Amino acid sequence: MPIEVHRLAHGLGAEVLGADLSRLEPATLEAIHAAWMQHLVLVFPGQQLTNLEFAAFSERFGALEVLGSYQGLDEYVDPACRGLMTVTNREIANEPSRTRAVGRKWHADRSFVPQAPIGTFLYCRELPDVGGDTMFANQYLAYETLSEGLRAALDPLWAVHDVLGRHDSLVKALSPEQVAIKRRMDPPTAQPVVRVHEVTGRRALYVSEAVTTRFVDMTEDESRPLLRFLFQHSVQPTFTYRHRWHVDDVVMWDNRCAMHLALADFDPRQIRTMLRTSVVGPVTGHFVDAAAGAAREAANELPAA
Protein backbone atom coordinates (compact mmCIF):
# COMPACT_ATOMS: atom_id res chain seq x y z
CA MET A 1 0.00 0.00 0.00
CA PRO A 2 1.60 3.31 -1.03
CA ILE A 3 2.07 6.06 1.52
CA GLU A 4 -0.04 9.20 1.55
CA VAL A 5 1.71 12.58 1.92
CA HIS A 6 -0.33 15.61 2.98
CA ARG A 7 1.09 19.13 3.29
CA LEU A 8 0.77 20.73 6.69
CA ALA A 9 1.74 24.36 6.03
CA HIS A 10 2.69 26.73 3.23
CA GLY A 11 6.30 26.98 4.31
CA LEU A 12 7.20 23.35 5.01
CA GLY A 13 6.00 20.16 6.62
CA ALA A 14 3.96 17.14 5.57
CA GLU A 15 2.16 14.29 7.30
CA VAL A 16 2.91 10.77 6.07
CA LEU A 17 0.22 8.12 6.42
CA GLY A 18 0.36 4.41 5.66
CA ALA A 19 3.97 3.80 6.77
CA ASP A 20 4.94 1.37 9.53
CA LEU A 21 8.42 2.62 10.38
CA SER A 22 9.39 -0.70 11.97
CA ARG A 23 9.30 -2.40 8.58
CA LEU A 24 9.81 -0.43 5.40
CA GLU A 25 10.15 -1.81 1.91
CA PRO A 26 12.85 -0.16 -0.26
CA ALA A 27 10.22 1.54 -2.44
CA THR A 28 8.50 3.01 0.63
CA LEU A 29 11.81 4.24 2.04
CA GLU A 30 12.61 5.86 -1.30
CA ALA A 31 9.21 7.60 -1.30
CA ILE A 32 9.79 8.86 2.24
CA HIS A 33 13.20 10.23 1.28
CA ALA A 34 11.71 12.01 -1.74
CA ALA A 35 8.99 13.53 0.47
CA TRP A 36 11.66 14.61 3.00
CA MET A 37 13.61 16.42 0.29
CA GLN A 38 10.44 18.16 -0.86
CA HIS A 39 8.82 19.06 2.46
CA LEU A 40 11.86 19.30 4.82
CA VAL A 41 9.81 18.14 7.84
CA LEU A 42 7.87 14.86 7.92
CA VAL A 43 5.37 13.77 10.59
CA PHE A 44 4.52 10.08 11.10
CA PRO A 45 1.59 9.83 13.55
CA GLY A 46 0.68 6.81 15.65
CA GLN A 47 3.90 4.82 15.41
CA GLN A 48 4.38 1.86 17.77
CA LEU A 49 8.14 1.43 17.99
CA THR A 50 10.64 0.14 20.48
CA ASN A 51 13.64 2.34 21.20
CA LEU A 52 15.84 0.24 18.93
CA GLU A 53 13.25 0.17 16.13
CA PHE A 54 13.15 3.97 16.22
CA ALA A 55 16.96 4.09 16.06
CA ALA A 56 16.98 1.58 13.20
CA PHE A 57 14.53 3.71 11.21
CA SER A 58 16.74 6.77 11.70
CA GLU A 59 19.79 4.82 10.60
CA ARG A 60 18.17 4.13 7.23
CA PHE A 61 19.08 7.76 6.38
CA GLY A 62 22.71 7.72 7.50
CA ALA A 63 25.12 6.89 10.30
CA LEU A 64 23.84 7.91 13.72
CA GLU A 65 25.63 10.71 15.52
CA VAL A 66 26.99 9.41 18.82
CA LEU A 67 26.64 11.74 21.79
CA GLY A 68 27.32 11.24 25.45
CA SER A 69 30.53 11.11 27.38
CA TYR A 70 32.27 14.35 26.54
CA GLN A 71 29.00 16.32 26.75
CA GLY A 72 28.28 14.80 30.17
CA LEU A 73 25.13 13.15 28.81
CA ASP A 74 25.82 9.50 29.57
CA GLU A 75 22.67 9.20 31.70
CA TYR A 76 20.56 10.29 28.73
CA VAL A 77 22.00 7.83 26.21
CA ASP A 78 20.50 4.38 25.63
CA PRO A 79 23.25 1.85 26.54
CA ALA A 80 21.99 -0.43 23.77
CA CYS A 81 22.43 2.31 21.15
CA ARG A 82 24.70 5.26 21.81
CA GLY A 83 23.12 7.17 18.96
CA LEU A 84 19.80 7.26 20.85
CA MET A 85 19.21 9.72 23.67
CA THR A 86 16.35 10.98 25.81
CA VAL A 87 15.32 14.64 25.84
CA THR A 88 13.15 15.29 28.88
CA ASN A 89 12.36 17.61 31.76
CA ARG A 90 12.04 14.60 34.07
CA GLU A 91 14.71 14.42 36.77
CA ILE A 92 17.65 12.18 35.87
CA ALA A 93 19.72 10.62 38.67
CA ASN A 94 17.82 12.80 41.18
CA GLU A 95 19.00 15.99 39.47
CA PRO A 96 17.26 18.46 37.14
CA SER A 97 17.53 17.20 33.58
CA ARG A 98 20.32 18.72 31.53
CA THR A 99 18.05 18.46 28.49
CA ARG A 100 15.02 20.15 30.08
CA ALA A 101 15.39 23.45 28.20
CA VAL A 102 17.27 22.57 25.04
CA GLY A 103 16.32 24.24 21.79
CA ARG A 104 14.69 27.35 23.20
CA LYS A 105 16.16 29.51 20.42
CA TRP A 106 15.93 29.05 16.65
CA HIS A 107 18.76 26.82 15.45
CA ALA A 108 19.93 24.00 13.22
CA ASP A 109 21.22 21.15 15.34
CA ARG A 110 24.89 21.25 16.31
CA SER A 111 25.93 23.68 13.59
CA PHE A 112 28.73 24.57 16.03
CA VAL A 113 30.70 21.46 14.98
CA PRO A 114 32.33 20.99 11.54
CA GLN A 115 30.28 17.86 10.77
CA ALA A 116 26.80 18.81 11.90
CA PRO A 117 23.92 16.34 11.57
CA ILE A 118 21.97 16.54 8.34
CA GLY A 119 18.81 15.15 9.90
CA THR A 120 17.21 14.89 13.33
CA PHE A 121 14.45 12.51 14.47
CA LEU A 122 12.19 12.80 17.53
CA TYR A 123 9.79 10.18 18.86
CA CYS A 124 7.23 11.51 21.35
CA ARG A 125 6.85 9.41 24.51
CA GLU A 126 5.28 11.80 27.06
CA LEU A 127 3.48 15.14 26.79
CA PRO A 128 2.06 17.77 29.13
CA ASP A 129 -1.70 18.36 29.07
CA VAL A 130 -1.22 21.24 26.62
CA GLY A 131 1.76 22.72 24.82
CA GLY A 132 5.24 21.38 24.23
CA ASP A 133 5.05 22.37 20.54
CA THR A 134 7.99 22.61 18.14
CA MET A 135 8.28 25.19 15.35
CA PHE A 136 10.16 24.79 12.07
CA ALA A 137 11.30 27.38 9.50
CA ASN A 138 12.18 26.86 5.83
CA GLN A 139 15.64 28.31 5.17
CA TYR A 140 15.39 27.79 1.40
CA LEU A 141 12.61 30.36 1.42
CA ALA A 142 14.54 32.57 3.82
CA TYR A 143 17.38 32.75 1.30
CA GLU A 144 15.30 32.89 -1.87
CA THR A 145 13.19 35.83 -0.67
CA LEU A 146 16.21 38.05 -0.05
CA SER A 147 17.10 40.64 -2.67
CA GLU A 148 19.46 39.60 -5.44
CA GLY A 149 22.07 42.02 -4.15
CA LEU A 150 22.00 40.69 -0.60
CA ARG A 151 22.10 37.09 -1.81
CA ALA A 152 25.21 37.91 -3.84
CA ALA A 153 26.81 39.54 -0.80
CA LEU A 154 26.04 36.60 1.48
CA ASP A 155 27.03 33.77 -0.87
CA PRO A 156 30.80 33.93 -0.19
CA LEU A 157 30.57 34.73 3.54
CA TRP A 158 31.32 32.46 6.48
CA ALA A 159 30.06 32.87 10.03
CA VAL A 160 31.21 31.74 13.46
CA HIS A 161 28.97 29.25 15.30
CA ASP A 162 29.70 29.01 19.03
CA VAL A 163 27.92 26.65 21.45
CA LEU A 164 28.57 29.12 24.28
CA GLY A 165 27.20 32.02 22.25
CA ARG A 166 23.57 31.09 22.82
CA HIS A 167 23.39 32.55 26.38
CA ASP A 168 20.42 30.36 27.29
CA SER A 169 19.52 29.10 30.76
CA LEU A 170 21.53 25.90 30.38
CA VAL A 171 24.69 27.80 29.43
CA LYS A 172 24.17 30.34 32.22
CA ALA A 173 23.87 27.49 34.72
CA LEU A 174 27.32 26.11 33.87
CA SER A 175 30.12 26.52 36.37
CA PRO A 176 33.39 28.14 35.22
CA GLU A 177 34.93 24.68 35.10
CA GLN A 178 32.10 23.37 32.92
CA VAL A 179 32.41 26.38 30.62
CA ALA A 180 36.12 25.68 30.23
CA ILE A 181 35.41 22.05 29.34
CA LYS A 182 32.77 23.04 26.78
CA ARG A 183 35.09 25.62 25.25
CA ARG A 184 37.87 23.02 24.97
CA MET A 185 35.64 20.27 23.59
CA ASP A 186 33.56 22.41 21.21
CA PRO A 187 35.65 25.39 20.06
CA PRO A 188 33.92 27.84 17.69
CA THR A 189 33.35 26.58 14.15
CA ALA A 190 33.11 28.51 10.88
CA GLN A 191 30.24 27.52 8.60
CA PRO A 192 29.11 28.95 5.24
CA VAL A 193 26.40 31.58 5.64
CA VAL A 194 24.65 30.07 2.62
CA ARG A 195 24.63 26.28 2.57
CA VAL A 196 24.18 24.42 -0.72
CA HIS A 197 22.18 21.24 -0.18
CA GLU A 198 24.14 18.31 -1.58
CA VAL A 199 20.98 16.48 -2.71
CA THR A 200 18.64 19.20 -3.99
CA GLY A 201 21.29 21.74 -5.03
CA ARG A 202 19.20 24.54 -3.48
CA ARG A 203 20.71 27.29 -1.33
CA ALA A 204 19.59 27.90 2.25
CA LEU A 205 20.51 30.39 4.94
CA TYR A 206 22.64 28.71 7.58
CA VAL A 207 22.82 31.13 10.51
CA SER A 208 20.87 31.08 13.77
CA GLU A 209 20.19 33.27 16.76
CA ALA A 210 21.20 30.40 19.03
CA VAL A 211 24.86 30.07 18.10
CA THR A 212 25.91 32.41 15.26
CA THR A 213 27.95 35.22 16.80
CA ARG A 214 29.69 37.04 13.93
CA PHE A 215 30.92 36.82 10.36
CA VAL A 216 34.42 35.50 9.80
CA ASP A 217 36.95 38.36 9.55
CA MET A 218 34.45 40.79 11.14
CA THR A 219 33.86 41.83 14.73
CA GLU A 220 30.67 41.09 16.61
CA ASP A 221 29.78 44.79 16.56
CA GLU A 222 30.23 44.94 12.79
CA SER A 223 28.28 41.71 12.28
CA ARG A 224 25.38 42.39 14.62
CA PRO A 225 23.10 44.56 12.41
CA LEU A 226 23.08 42.19 9.44
CA LEU A 227 22.84 39.09 11.62
CA ARG A 228 19.92 40.59 13.51
CA PHE A 229 18.14 41.23 10.21
CA LEU A 230 18.81 37.67 9.00
CA PHE A 231 17.62 36.14 12.28
CA GLN A 232 14.32 38.03 12.05
CA HIS A 233 13.87 37.52 8.32
CA SER A 234 14.54 33.77 8.45
CA VAL A 235 11.61 32.94 10.73
CA GLN A 236 8.80 34.93 9.13
CA PRO A 237 5.41 33.24 9.65
CA THR A 238 5.10 32.34 5.97
CA PHE A 239 8.25 30.22 6.27
CA THR A 240 7.11 28.28 9.35
CA TYR A 241 5.18 25.24 10.57
CA ARG A 242 4.15 24.68 14.20
CA HIS A 243 3.89 21.04 15.19
CA ARG A 244 1.46 20.16 17.96
CA TRP A 245 2.71 16.85 19.26
CA HIS A 246 0.76 13.71 20.02
CA VAL A 247 2.23 10.75 21.87
CA ASP A 248 3.70 8.26 19.35
CA ASP A 249 4.43 10.94 16.72
CA VAL A 250 7.75 10.53 14.92
CA VAL A 251 9.04 13.72 13.31
CA MET A 252 12.13 14.02 11.12
CA TRP A 253 13.62 17.19 9.68
CA ASP A 254 16.46 18.33 7.46
CA ASN A 255 18.97 20.48 9.37
CA ARG A 256 20.59 21.62 6.11
CA CYS A 257 17.59 23.73 5.16
CA ALA A 258 15.28 23.95 8.18
CA MET A 259 15.66 25.49 11.62
CA HIS A 260 13.58 24.58 14.63
CA LEU A 261 12.54 25.97 18.01
CA ALA A 262 11.29 24.05 21.06
CA LEU A 263 8.64 26.23 22.64
CA ALA A 264 8.41 26.70 26.40
CA ASP A 265 4.61 26.80 26.10
CA PHE A 266 3.76 24.27 28.80
CA ASP A 267 3.72 23.77 32.56
CA PRO A 268 7.30 22.74 33.46
CA ARG A 269 5.93 20.61 36.31
CA GLN A 270 4.41 18.33 33.70
CA ILE A 271 6.59 15.87 31.81
CA ARG A 272 7.64 16.15 28.19
CA THR A 273 9.84 13.28 26.95
CA MET A 274 11.21 12.60 23.49
CA LEU A 275 13.61 10.04 22.08
CA ARG A 276 16.15 11.69 19.81
CA THR A 277 18.49 10.52 17.07
CA SER A 278 20.44 12.36 14.40
CA VAL A 279 22.37 11.32 11.31
CA VAL A 280 25.69 12.81 10.31
CA GLY A 281 26.56 14.18 6.90
CA PRO A 282 29.57 15.73 5.18
CA VAL A 283 32.02 18.09 6.80
CA THR A 284 30.91 21.62 5.90
CA GLY A 285 32.77 23.74 8.44
CA HIS A 286 36.13 24.11 10.12
CA PHE A 287 37.37 25.21 13.51
CA VAL A 288 38.06 28.93 13.66
CA ASP A 289 41.21 28.26 15.67
CA ALA A 290 43.03 25.36 14.04
CA ALA A 291 45.14 24.68 17.12
CA ALA A 292 42.05 24.51 19.35
CA GLY A 293 40.44 22.18 16.84
CA ALA A 294 43.46 19.89 16.79
CA ALA A 295 43.52 19.78 20.59
CA ARG A 296 39.82 18.97 20.63
CA GLU A 297 40.23 16.08 18.22
CA ALA A 298 43.16 14.72 20.20
CA ALA A 299 41.28 14.88 23.51
CA ASN A 300 37.82 13.89 22.35
CA GLU A 301 36.99 10.21 22.51
CA LEU A 302 34.39 10.79 19.77
CA PRO A 303 35.35 11.78 16.23
CA ALA A 304 34.98 15.50 15.54
CA ALA A 305 34.55 15.12 11.81
Selecting among 39, 125, 272, 276, the annotated active-site residue is: 276
Tell me if residue 256 is catalytic: no
Neighbours of 248 (CB within 10 A): 14
Amino acid at 8: L
Q: Residue 50: helix, strand or coil by DSSP?
A: coil
Count Cα neighbours of 154 within 13 Å in the Cβ-side half-sphere: 26
Task: Please indicate whether residue 39 is annotated as part of the active site.
Answer: no
Is 276 an active-site residue? yes
Provide the angle, in degrees to the nearest 10, between the axes of the packed helices 176-185 and 290-299. Answer: 100
Question: Smallest Cα–Cα separation from 119: which of 188, 187, 32?
Answer: 32
Of 195, 214, 260, 296, catalytic:
260
Beta-strand pair 273-280/41-44: unpaired
SS (H, E, C) 186-214: CCCEEEECEEECCCCCCEEECCCCCCEEE
Dihedral sign from CA coordinates of 105, 108, 109, 110 = negative
Is the Cα torsion angle 252, 285, 110, 217 positive or negative in sign? negative
Candidate list 39, 107, 125, 272, residue with the active-site label: 107
| Rounded CA separation 204/45 (Å) | 28
**Catalytic annotation present for 269:** no
Which residues have a catalytic role annotated?
107, 109, 260, 276
